[in-house]
Amino acid sequence: MRPSMLRSIHSAVSRSRSHLARRGYATEPVPERKVAILGAAGGIGQPLSLLMKLNPLVSTLSLYDIAGTPGVAADVSHINSRSEVAGYAGEEELGKALEGADVVIIPAGVPRKPGMTRDDLFNINAGIVKSLATAIAKYCPHALVNMISNPVNSTVPIAAEVFKKAGTYDEKRLFGVTTLDVVRAKTFYAGKAKVPVADVNVPVIGGHAGVTILPLFSQATPSANLNADVIEALTKRTQDGGTEVVTAKAGKGSATLSMAYAGAIFADACLKGLNGVPDVVECSYVQSNIISELPFFASKVRIGKNGVEEILGLGSLSDFEQEGLEKLKSELKSSIEKGIKFASQ
Ligand SMILES: NC(=O)c1ccc[n+]([C@@H]2O[C@H](COP(=O)([O-])OP(=O)(O)OC[C@H]3O[C@@H](n4cnc5c(N)ncnc54)[C@H](O)[C@@H]3O)[C@@H](O)[C@H]2O)c1
Ligand SMILES: O=C(O)C[C@H](O)C(=O)O
């Protein structure tokens, strides 16, 4: 075949690929991926189910809750996208919901009301997370687990202990979802720096509660010469972002829509990592040796085919951030210990 003919076939194929891509069809083989959402009928669960239904990397979307999921599943299943949707309700259906899952997202549990801390949710949510983690160990021990249920600083160590006891623990596969802190830091920074939010990046390290949330505005891009007072106010607003929403909702729960957005970004990163997309980096609360006395810590992590591929260093911190890092250690340490103690009872 003449080279010119080969070239014209090649360009016809590319034209038809981009035509298919514009119409939303996959042009490269996309692996089958099952995503399970536990707590799918809740305030986060419903919009998160919608966003995951829109994700072309998902082939099976499994929606589980103690009640209400058949309705959510029927509703979401009519949307014109790749995945097959199934709803499962009640503990007896949990195994089916989880079997074969590649990614399990957990927004199950009670949210805060005004005046409460995330730790006030421990008594109820710790038990829920323990039982869901037990089922994950049994039905899909190799799944990447995205923990949203609060208090994340404790629920991740709880899940780790449950997996250890079951003999299935792989620290690379367990993630506390802290993406909402990054989402907030980006929005608040873009507002002050007067730059388009789509161009902004801000790492957020530590944990996911109050002072344990430590945004690193000194590393924010694009850089802006914000003065110390502005940085301090941005830091405080990011740390109190959840409380800002809880107060505004006045007893009707905590962040759901922005959390669904954040959860969908993080789950998409996990799917891309599993599919071998290079350089997938997100902040997440994982088993870490970055701060030696804290076994779990949020920082930038590279996600790959086996989960956490690399925990990236903290980079250089400003004096203000270094102080924040020292301040957060004791609270984070006691939240981790509380989770471990609960799970080992
Ligand atoms: N990580 C974060 O950044 C972040 C952000 C927002 C909210 N949260 C947390 O997410 C959790 C859920 O918040 P929400 O607003 O969706 O609450 P919600 O009450 O609206 O929904 C929770 C859902 O969990 C379900 N559920 C309860 N027990 C369950 C079990 N054993 N198995 C499966 N499902 C169960 C409930 O039926 C309900 O549908 C809360 O703990 C909240 O604090 C975390
Ligand atoms: O603030 C909460 O209780 C929910 C969540 O952790 C958040 O950051 O919005």
Q: Hey, which residues does 103 pair with through a beta bridge?
A: 35, 144
Residue 214: predicted pLDDT: 98
Q: Whose CA is nearest to atom 14 of ligand 1?
A: 43
Return the structure tokens found at 325: 């890092």
pTM of the model: 0.94
Report the b/e string of 168-194 with b at 16+ CB within 10 A. Answer: bbbebbbbbbbbbbbbbbbbbbbebbe
ipTM of the modeled complex: 0.99
Q: What is the pLDDT of residue 292?
A: 87
Ligand 1 pocket residue status of 125, Cβ below 6 Å? yes
pLDDT at position 29: 81
Q: Is the CB of 255 under 6 A from ligand 2?
A: yes
Give residue 12's pLDDT. Answer: 40
Binding residues: 39-45, 65, 112, 118, 125, 148-150, 184, 259
pLDDT at 167: 98
pLDDT at res. 15: 42
Q: Enumerate the active-site residues.
A: 208
Closest atom of ligand 2 to CA, residue 111: 3
For residue 112, the ligand 2 atom closest to its alpha carbon is 3
Contact (Cβ atoms closer than 8 angstroms) between residue 268 and residue 55: yes
pLDDT of residue 232: 98
Q: Which residues in the chain land under pLDDT 50?
A: 1-26
Binding residues for substrate: 112, 118, 150, 184
